């Protein structure tokens, strides 16, 4: 038998070259300056990295819930792909957070050892939007459209932040987010202007998601201090651009535009005041890592 692929596999394992590919991820930010920029407070910068990183991490976790449950195989592939992009951004940002805040925490320390009230993500990303009784594909796409439109505008501006690591993550991320936004927008159009049932579900989805929009643009003292030193972007500055995109998509999808306000205002994701849905997500995510102290993965 001349089947070299598996002949090679039976040899020694110390040599990576015997396998078809390596197993690691190459360092995407090699060569980027990792010093804290002068005039920037490391603790503030660390919290900002957690905000941006947690948004990506929690949404990646939510999107991965669709894996093997999507309406089409193409969608299993697409949602996993979007989840992987966001997970990649989260890993770089959380690593940066531990590097600049003086604690030396790793990406996994942030992901697995913080309780819910130390997560800094927007409420939008923690909501249970399905699959299952918590939502459906329409809610998932409504959230993805909102989130990707917002994050694309944010990352576009963050390419010129004084922090070279965030700038590098942003430069890579804008290409990814442009695809995520396009993918979500196409589905909102298809579902909004598809059948009577899909229109009804898409409108209900938008109605459910829109009240979480105001929070995207809310001011925060940490972000305000970083804006002063050109290390962060004011989310209020992207509002007009994001809403223009969202409204154009909704109108083309024959959907009406709901109010972006929520009645109850005591929750604030950026301050660690979350819905119970975050604790549920984290319970699943952190269970195994916490159950085997000292284990290496």
Return residues touching other proteins (CB under 8 A): 1, 3, 5-6, 9-10, 12-13, 19-23, 25, 57, 61, 64-65, 67-77, 80-81, 83-84, 87-88, 90-91, 94, 107-108, 111-112, 131, 136-137, 189-191, 193-195, 197-198, 201, 284-285, 287-289, 292, 294-297
Structure-block tokens of residue 153? 């505008």
Asked whether the beta carbons of 94 and 57 are under 8 A apart, the reply is: yes
Q: Closest Cα to residue 44, out of 218, 219, 220, 225?
A: 225
- Residues composing the chain: 297
Nearer to other proteins, 10 or 38 (CB): 10
Q: Are 191 and 253 within 8 A, CB to CB?
A: yes
Q: How far is the CB of 227 from other proteins (least distance, A)?
A: 29
Distance in angstroms (rounded) separating the CA atoms of residues 242 and 213: 10
- We find the least distance from the C-beta atom of residue 258 to other proteins, in angstroms, to be 20
Distance CA 174, CA 111 (A): 23
| Least CB distance to other proteins at residue 282 (A) | 11
**Cβ of residue 201: shortest distance to other proteins, in angstroms?**
7
Separation between Cα atoms, residue 144 and residue 152, nearest integer Å: 11
122/202 with CB nearer other proteins: 202
Q: Residue 6 or residue 104: which is nearer to other proteins going by CB?
A: 6
How many CA atoms lie within 13 Å of 176's alpha carbon, on the beta-carbon side?
23
Q: At what angle do helices 196-209 and 164-192 cross, to 10 degrees?
A: 140
The whole-angstrom separation of Cα 197 and Cα 82 is 26
Are residues 209 and 143 in contact, defined by beta-carbon separation less than 8 angstroms? yes
Closer residue to other proteins, CB minimum distance, 33 or 287: 287
Nearer to other proteins, 137 or 212 (CB): 137
C-alpha span between 60 and 181 (Å, rounded):
15
What is the closest distance, in whole angstroms, from the C-beta atom of residue 82 to other proteins in the complex?
A: 10
Three-class secondary structure of residue 296 per DSSP = coil
Q: For other proteins, which is the closer residue by CB, 133 or 276?
A: 133
Min CB(135)–other proteins separation in Å = 11
C-alpha span between 43 and 110 (Å, rounded)? 14
Least distance to other proteins from the beta carbon of 112, Å? 8
- Structural tokens at position 119: 């997560």
* Comparison of 202 and 226: residue with beta carbon closer to other proteins: 202
Minimum Å gap between C-beta 65 and other proteins is: 7
The dihedral formed by the CA atoms of 82, 174, 100 and 37, expressed in degrees to the nearest 10? 170
């Amino acid at each position: 038998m001349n089947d070299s692929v598996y002949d090679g596999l039976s040899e020694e394992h110390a040599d990576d070259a015997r396998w078809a590919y390596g197993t690691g991820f190459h360092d995407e930010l090699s060569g980027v300056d990792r010093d804290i920029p002068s005039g920037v407070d490391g603790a503030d910068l660390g919290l900002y990295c957690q905000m941006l990183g947690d948004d990506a991490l929690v949404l990646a976790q939510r999107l991965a819930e669709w894996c093997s449950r999507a309406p089409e195989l193409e969608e299993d592939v697409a949602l996993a792909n979007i989840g992987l992009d966001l997970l990649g951004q989260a890993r770089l940002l959380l690593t940066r957070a531990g590097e600049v805040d003086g604690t030396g925490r790793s990406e996994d320390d942030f992901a697995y050892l913080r309780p819910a009230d130390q997560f800094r993500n927007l409420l939008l990303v923690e909501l249970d939007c399905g699959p299952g009784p918590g939502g459906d594909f329409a809610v998932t796409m409504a959230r993805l459209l909102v989130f990707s439109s917002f994050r694309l505008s944010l990352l576009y501006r963050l390419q010129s932040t004084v922090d070279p690591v965030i700038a590098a993550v942003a430069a890579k991320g804008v290409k990814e987010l442009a695809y995520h936004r396009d993918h979500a927008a196409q589905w909102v159009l298809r579902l909004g202007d598809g059948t009577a049932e899909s229109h009804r579900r898409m409108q209900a989805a938008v109605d459910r998601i829109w009240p979480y929009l105001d929070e995207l643009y809310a001011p925060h003292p940490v972000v305000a201090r970083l804006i002063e030193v050109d290390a962060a972007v004011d989310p209020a500055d992207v509002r007009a651009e994001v809403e223009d995109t969202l409204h154009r998509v909704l109108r083309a999808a024959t959907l009406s535009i709901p109010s972006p306000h929520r009645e109850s205002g005591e929750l604030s994701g950026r301050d660690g005041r979350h819905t119970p849905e975050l604790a549920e997500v984290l319970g699943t995510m952190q269970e195994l890592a916490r159950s085997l102290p000292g284990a290496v993965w």
